[in-house]
Structure 1
Amino acid sequence: MSKKIVLITGGAKGIGLATANRLSSEEMTVVINTHTPLEEKESEKLEEQGIVFKGFEGDVSNEDDAQRIIKTVIDEYGRIDVLVNNAGIIKDKLLFRMGLDDFETVLKVNLVGTFNMTKLVMKFMQKQKSGNIINISSISGLHGNIGQGNYSASKAGIVGLTKTTAKEGAIRGIRCNAVAPGMINTDMVHKMNAQRQNEFIAQIPLGRFGRPEEIADTISFLIKNNYITGQVITVDGGLTI
């Protein structure tokens, strides 16, 4: 098969959508998962870009949904060559104000969702004796961040899961890497007030927030380079130097 089959979770906006556009432009067949059905305008735009989305809605933190999503892609295309685990949420609060529900909800979507999709797709990739899993972590998972105890814990867990997946998958030709974005121009950043945004920009050596397309570039690179596995690639404009 000449075209790689790529499944991207949380692919309707931000990093997920930028990645879908990039990989689709590189002649890959791109299927995106969304948590809920899309509005008509969003649907039409995706169709114009050649991105497949209908029938792949579901909550990746729910094992039954995750299984259905992967089975639907396999039934439709016969294989999955690349899985990009991008789905994620935030519920920021200082630790002493954070309820258990706030903590568990973020871990369930970000970490358990990544686990569900990875576990289920590996069963098919092992039969193929090939595959590529790319997880979206964060610099918060590597260095922590005030008000993000739940998010940081989930993204740190993804780093450990990535390295274990790489070790277990290598014998069957399955690679697994993670990308750790810094401050990227997405909805999460836009929710911050202007003063907070300026404070962050002042700490970034390159003097600006990253673009979702720059994370997509990194994902594209990790798909193409067949000798990288078990790594975490930081893309943060120098913020964590």
Structure 2
Amino acid sequence: MTQTLKNIQPVTTSAPVMLVTGSAKRIGAAIVRAAHKQGYRVIIHCHHSEQEANALANELNETHAHSAVVIMADLAVVNNSETLEQFTNNIMQAFGQLDVLVHNASRFYPTPLGSIHHDQWDELILSNAKAPLLLSQALYPYLKMQQGCIISLLDIHAHNKPFANYTVYNMAKAAHRMMVQSLALDMAPDVRVNGVAPGVNILPEADSDQALDNEQQNKIISSIPMQRIGIPPEIAHSVLYLVQASYVTGEIITVDGGRSLTLAGGH
């Protein structure tokens, strides 16, 4: 369990700071790019994707010097008070403040009934519920100083429409959804807490064990009223709206092309 702070540079700007967990690629990277384009300094968190995270930071720093840093850590740091404190210190050393925390890091895989075991439970609950809660708690004093906000990436399957064979993931995301609503009460009025629930806004990587063939992709597209797969910038747009929506807290925005209107669960 290691954690390393990368690309730290002295900065003098007063631009707001956003941390996005799991942001080396895909949706997380889209959020980072969109925030950076709007003038944010960004902290790119990664665990295994160090090469992609550093490439993203270098790209952004070429546009605005000293505006992006990388922090590499296994989010299991939250399981120990000392490692969590060190991780928190590394985050705050990056720019000296934190205005927005985005919980994007997530593990996602099926857990068919009959084959569920403790390691799956621990991993899925950690990334999708435990780490977001304990990291929010650790960073709350700093977010409070900035009158900042927290945005969580959830899932349309976390509320009344469970995804078949993904029981542990469904449970973990449902817990995360309740965290959003609970913290919105407990952190008000100093810190707003909201969520974004994607549908099919990005397909699994082609070389992953979750890859979909053309027939599966076409079946999914046919079930979406907008008749297309979403794209990561559409999630980023909703995240940045919630960052700026100063009178919105405890809300979940669904960004799924209307899929949840027709989804009966298990499809």
Q: Please give the TM-score of this superposition, normalised by the length of structure 1.
A: 0.91
Question: Taking structure 1 as reference, are residues 220 and 73 closer, same or farther at Cα in structure 2, changes over 3 Å only?
Answer: same
Residue 21 of structure 1 is matched in structure 2 by 33
1:58 to 73, 77, 91: 73
Gaps of 5+ in 1: none
Shift of 1:75: 2.3
Shift of 1:42: 5.3
**Match of 1:133, SS?**
strand
Q: How many residues align structurally?
A: 237
Return 148-157 or 64-73, whichever deviates more. Answer: 64-73
Distance in 2 (CA, whole Å) between partners of 1:90 and 1:76 is: 29
Return 93-102 or 139-148, whichever deviates more. Answer: 93-102
Residue 3 of structure 2 is matched in structure 1 by none
Is the 1:59–1:66 Cα contact (8 Å) retained in structure 2?
A: no
1:231 correspondence with 2:251: yes
Question: Taking structure 1 as reference, are residues 134 and 45 closer, same or farther at Cα in structure 2, changes over 3 Å only?
Answer: closer
Output one character per residue of 1:118-141: Cα deviation in whole Å (capped at 9) or x when no partner: 111112223x16110001110111
Moved over 4 A (4+): none
The amino acid across from 2:55 in the alignment is E
Residue 223 of structure 2 is matched in structure 1 by 203
1:184 correspondence with 2:219: no
Percent identity, aligned pairs only, is: 25
**Match of 1:61, SS?**
helix
Residue 222 of structure 1 is matched in structure 2 by 242
Question: Taking structure 1 as reference, are residues 159 and 37 closer, same or farther at Cα in structure 2, changes over 3 Å only?
Answer: closer
Larger radius of gyration: 2
Shift of 1:36: 3.1
The amino acid across from 2:175 in the alignment is G
CA RMSD of aligned residues (A): 1.9
Residue 101 of structure 2 is matched in structure 1 by 83
Distance in 2 (CA, whole Å) between partners of 1:74 and 1:46 is: 17
Shift of 1:46: 2.9
Output one character per residue of 1:98-145: Cα deviation in whole Å (capped at 9) or x when no partner: 22322221111211111121111112223x161100011101111210
Return 197-206 or 10-19, whichever deviates more. Answer: 197-206
Shift of 1:62: 2.2
Distance in 2 (CA, whole Å) between partners of 1:164 and 1:70 is: 22
Distance in 1 (CA, whole Å) between partners of 2:48 and 2:34 is: 23
Trace 1:106-121 onto structure 2 (pairs within 5 A). Answer: 106-121=124-139
Return 203-212 or 90-99, whichever deviates more. Answer: 90-99
The amino acid across from 1:43 in the alignment is N
Distance in 1 (CA, whole Å) between partners of 2:202 and 2:231 is: 5
